[in-house]
Amino acid sequence: MIEKMTHKSRFVRWMVPHSKEEIAFVPIASRLDNYEDIGKRILQNKQKVPIGDYTASFLYFAYCGPKVSDKPITKNVRQIMENEGFLIFNINLSTKNGIYVVQDENAIGMNHLLNINELEKKLNDGKEMENIIFSKDGKLRFAPKGTYKSGLHSSKSLAKDGRIIANCGLEGAEKLGDVSSKFSSNPYIWGVDLIDYPDQKVFAVDGSYGVRLWFNSTFGGSVYIPSYGLSD
């Protein structure tokens, strides 16, 4: 798979290997905004929002990909990661039995509360991989209680954590683990493990000023984060 950067019109299109294809990331102008409005701007540009699977490939290419480590756009992505971070367009619904993760392709975020019964129906014909249940279309995942933990991790344990697998997929979790190894300190997941009531959040990933990879839950409030959309 050829690694390349191309220019089209006034936008930089960064071609990133993902699974057995390449995906094109295009920067979106930065401003103070919330999760839903950032997603809306990406969609209005007729681009896809970066779900966890895509974000893992994007960061892996910036930190671990060959040939492009000295490219200006690569340095820029790492600088954003370490100073601000990137939103992940997945919805996480934590329950007493585990975590449901929905790929938020329409950037709904916190505007709509997920229904557990509806989620369970979609998982009925799903497939279990590494203890995580994936729906038939792969857009919904469920990490049972006991497959994940908040707090400090090693790069290896991060890649095997149920919350990370549910958010980024099996391949994406391995990539995020590799990315975390490029920092001086061990990665950290900021979330809730034991809960008595459903708790819905979205997440972001950042580089904690170059110290460690943080996988953070957020309430979806206003943030100032340079964003990337996915282009055809």
Would you kindly state where each structural domain of the chain is located, as residue ranges?
A: 1-232
List % helix, strand, coil for the chain (3-state, nearest 5). Answer: 30, 30, 35
Q: Which two tokens stand for residue 83?
A: 């100073």
pLDDT of residue 84: 84
pLDDT 10s digits, 42-70: 899 889 999 999 999 999 999 998 766 67
CB 142 within 8 A of CB 98: yes
- pTM (two decimals): 0.90
pLDDT 10s digits, 154-190: 999 999 999 999 999 999 999 999 999 999 999 999 9
Which residue has better confidence, 39 or 158? 158
How far is the C-alpha of 86 from the C-alpha of 170, rounded, in Å? 20
